[in-house]
Amino acid sequence: MRYIGIDIGSTASKTVVLEDGKEDICFTLPTGWSGKETAMAICKKLDADKDGDRIVATGYGRVCVDYADKIVTEITCHGRGGSQLFGTDCTIIDVGGQDTKVITVSGGTVTDFLMNDKCSAGTGKFLEIMAGRLGATMEELFALAEGSDPVPISSMCTVFAESEVISHIGSGEKRGDIAAGVVDSVASRVAGLCTRHGIRGKAALTGGLCNSPYFIQRLSEKLGVPVETHSMGRYAGALGAALIARQGGKSFR
């Protein structure tokens, strides 16, 4: 029996497969323009068996996974997956492509959360847009930023912030300093959301940015507490979904 968690995000779609006696499988596909097409690509890659697999879908495009046995909210899945990775008492900070979530987990259960989903500033999409403006990939953006002096980017709106970046480029600011300003801006917004919500227990970062030591360093400095991560951090939502699928037992369907 395979227990499969599928997290269809706005930018990337993550899948975790748990199978007793075998090594866990994790993979990522770009979501692209159609979550439905991505969901079908995942199904084909998995060679999913409706009778032999239990599948839980979560994320921005969870309704696109029409072959899933159950659909569960992102908050619940990130809480379940995060507690598995970081312990039963923690604050999970998930910086996604479309929104940022701060989730309190106590005793392995989600007890509170706060989400910023009204503006892309402070999300992965903001970094993606600004990296493109600087002619860099996301990885190159962080490499440029490290060791540079951040120029201020104060606008709360992505459109106006992009205008600030263009202005900095036009005035001859160093590319690395602009990149550092962009990363600093996102770290500040994420830290602000965390401060509004409160940090209880250890602070743990999930989502695509958990693979960036520089971002983790900047966020830790702004929060005044060490931010932990995990090699599976990007898959927290999909892992939580897979664990929920495994918990379902015979009555799952």
Q: Which of 26-40, 43-57, 116-130, 237-251 has the lowest mean pLDDT?
A: 116-130
Query: Quick one: pLDDT at residue 249?
Result: 46
Domains of the chain: 2-76+236-251 (3.30.420.40)
Residue type, 130: M
Q: Assess whether pLDDT exceeds 80 at residue 92.
A: yes
Greater confidence (29 vs 97) lies with 29
Query: What's the rounded Cα separation, in Å, for the pair 15 and 133?
Result: 30
pLDDT digits (tens, 9 = 90+) for 151-165: 988 766 777 777 888
Residue 118: which pLDDT band, with cuts at 50, 70 and 90? Answer: low
Q: Which of 18-27, 136-145, 222-231 has the lowest mean pLDDT?
A: 18-27
Q: Assess whether pLDDT exceeds 80 at residue 12.
A: yes
